Structure 1
């Protein structure tokens, strides 16, 4: 008796899937008219978000961040460098964003993903302009030695909101970062000390113990889609491909605007729409702060 109903349900499901593939925009607009998305989220709600600190044991700081299916792995490696003459008492931060072929069907082996350099530049601009990291804190010996922080972010699954997830993983990795202990060798050069060498070194360490960076004005972001009169927060890759007008808002932990990024698109970003996006982002920042604090607490307990 259950077979006819099952057959009918299957037929309906096939028809819906076919309609979605043939007329994706109409499919989405039908949902938007009812203030719901195909994944059952309200228009202004972001996907489930998780952060795991210490994902890479060999790194000085690392984190795995997930927003929905979008997954980013961030790792920081610290190296001693000679600072430039223009900024003798400052260190440096170098950021690279990688999109290997495993992250998305549209990324082909042997060809760099088009989005990678764009996201990498956005990350560098945001992290350095936000004031989250004081480069002076990376100085070891003025004019002679400073830290170079190499931040590499790998996209493991690209399902929309790449910048938001990458920034979250970067912030989490810097929250987890421990500055290594270093000392002067016989030649007067700065060298890293392993954990075994820390207590055995005859020379006075330049920094006596591992320490955390002081992070200020931590930036968080939210990407929204503008489509007609609708605003969709935290879009999936499918939504981004169908409705092409994106706006990314970056706010710091004090809800101050750090940057606004709109890479073209057919919809004009009116002041009212931007204000609505900022309001949604403020709520999202509170969520992300709580998630990050919980991840740090879990790490401290472990």
Structure 2
């Protein structure tokens, strides 16, 4: 007698989808894999108590499920959310932004990372090029660096005069108060790392062919001008830490903990909750017995090399 078939195609498919999801996480985590053995040894020496991988993934997936609830609430309530990510080069801003947006709808949550201003933009009101990227109702905008470039890189590298910097300090509190009065929820994060940790991450980028593109001449100059950046950051926070839009500092030496702590904190600032959803049912497929699928020429298909 043949044993009953316990195979459940739907369950198999769901397990395969979950495996693909975890593969995405592993791909992101493997970004540090291509390193010289010597750099790996040094890195492990400086990070002996890094968070367990299983604990990290479990926590990350739980937080990302909450981010989806936040996204649904923002859409349903027509909220407007702006999150600024600032910090030194290699401080981990990009890593946390990737994890925040990884499972969200790009039509709801989008990332803004503006290049250096054009000659035309240099003649505009300083905040003008940022305003078009602000959210409408039901949107979340994550700025990977923001108008605070003026208080940081532009000041330290001499791209802005001291008068322009002081004008910025005078204007930015009122600009941000205007955003908040308009209904925008504005959150500002500074990712903080030590001198030694930045040096380590720069060395990792130098030795990792997949990360060398992240190193620019400007980044290398930031190592030379570490103390100037520190002074600029301290004055920036003293001048722009307002009750309507305070700064939140994320200790970033441990990248995984920094990501989890930042996402958890961001969620804690938002009064989101469950929103009503219509029940989704899959409609029946309509079959037309007279329809015959056309055979497409083989040259239209991508070669199956893998």
Same fold per TM (> 0.5)?
no
Name the structure with the higher strand share.
1
Q: TM-score range by the shorter chain?
A: under 0.3
Give the alignment's TM-score, normalised by structure 1: 0.22
Higher relative contact order (CA 8 A, sep 6+): 2
Name the structure with the higher helix share.
2
